[in-house]
Amino acid sequence: MKISQAERMLNLLALLVDRNRPLTLRAVRQELGKQYPNSDEAARAAFERDKAALREMGIPIETKTLGGDSAGEVTYWVNRSNYELSDLKLSDDERVALQLAVATVRLGAQHGEEALWKLGGEKVLRPTAVSVNIGFVDQNMSSITTAVMQRRTLNFDYKGEKRQVDPYGMLSRSGFWYLIGFDHLRKDQRVFRVDRIEGKVTAGQMRSFKTPVGFDVAAAVPTEKQMMAAGEGELTTATVLVDAPLAAGVRNEFGDAAIIRERADGSIEFAIPCANMSAFRLWLFAMVESAEVLAPASVRRQVIQWLEELAVGK
């Protein structure tokens, strides 16, 4: 059965994320079966189109030219750290608790359904546990990704309003897919969280707009740090103790300036933005038992309340 370029592109991305070693184009074609043409020249052209489209959407596909007996052959891979959490060695019960705490993106595809979970950053989550289904079906994903590649204006409902958007790109960040484009209703560039799109997406004619020169899809979507800081809460930072195994990652994310104190056991106390408590909650709960809010007391009480509500299934 022939599949669309958008679906093939997602399958390619899932494959490159799923494998723990770089793959040649020959290996990619073997893994994806008949999704690429039989002709070497046609398969190469289709692969290059897919690769260029993924990179334009902000996916960091990396390459390396081999030497020795395979001199000149190129291998491809995706930096897994951009899409996965480190292995937290969670028990089954802890995985279930994490999935209830964090909205998990689950996107179906013909190749590597479990691998596609990783595109939202949830390596530790398994399909046998409970998950939150965001209700975003493959048909919509295919429509959106195709529209990005073919420069088709999208029409959809968002927050109760009909939106007409020129889609410049898509980005997976912190467990959610984001669509970035020019919103004709607001007459400005806007970011839309894909799982909040209401109903079916429709697309217009090909090449109906031009992406701005120098558009940076990664810069268009606020980072987790920026989202946590961009809130209206009176308290802007919280002191969070992070266990040693995850401390280095938090340090890389927030910088040395966020460090309050390093403890002898390798754990670190950080000053973490919490003006946006919803974003702070997602960030904190993703570390499960490896992070603890120490201060201020009001933020600590709020976290305890969240945990109590989760415990009783509210």
Asked whether residue 132 is domain-assigned, the answer is: no
Q: How confident is the model at residue 167 (pLDDT cuts 50, 70, 90)?
A: very high
Do residues 302 and 204 both lie within one domain?
no
Q: Is residue 104 part of a domain?
A: yes
Q: Which of 221, 250, 271 is the last residue of a domain?
A: 221
pTM more than 0.85: no
For the chain, the average pLDDT equals 76
Do residue 217 and residue 237 come from a single domain? no
Confidence class for position 113, pLDDT limits 50, 70, 90: very low
Phi, psi of 308 (to 5 degrees): -65, -40
Q: pLDDT higher for 16 or 174?
A: 16
Q: Are residues 101 and 20 in the same domain?
A: yes
pLDDT score recorded for residue 133: 32
pLDDT attached to residue 189: 92
> Domain tally for the chain?
3
- What type of residue is 224? E
Cβ(279)–Cβ(227) under 8 Å? yes
Residue 46 parent element (H or E)? helix 40-56
Residue recorded with tokens 């993924």: 54
Which strands, in side-by-side order, build the sheet including 176-183?
Answer: 188-193, 176-183, 161-173, 154-158, 197-203
**Which range (143-157, 177-191, 210-224, 256-270) has the least confidence?**
210-224
What pLDDT is recorded for position 54? 82
Is residue 131 assigned to a domain? no
Among 179, 147, 191, residue whose Cα is nearest residue 53 = 147
The answer to whether residues 270 and 217 belong to one domain is: no
Q: Which of 48-62, 127-141, 177-191, 274-288 has the highest mean pLDDT?
A: 177-191
Same domain, 148 and 233: no
Q: Verify that 207 and 300 share a domain, yes or no.
A: no
Say how far apart CA 193 and CA 309 lie, in whole Å: 26
CATH of the domain at 179: 2.30.30
Q: CATH number for the domain including 239?
A: 3.30.70
Task: Assess if residue 125 is contained within a domain.
Answer: no
Instruction: Considering only residues 178 and 272, tell me which one the structure prediction assigns the higher pLDDT.
Output: 272
Asked which of 85, 120, 155 is the last residue of a domain, the reply is 120
How far are the Cα atoms of 80, 118, 283 from residue 15, in angstroms, in the given order? Answer: 11, 11, 27
The pLDDT, as a whole number, for residue 301 is 93
State which of 120, 154, 173 marks the end of a domain: 120
> If pLDDT is split at 50, 70 and 90, which confidence band does 117 have?
very low
| Residue numbers of the domain that contains 23 | 5-120
Is 14 contained in some domain? yes
Who wins on pLDDT, 94 or 36? 36
Same domain, 115 and 204: no
Q: Is residue 278 part of a domain?
A: yes
Residues 162 and 115 in one domain: no
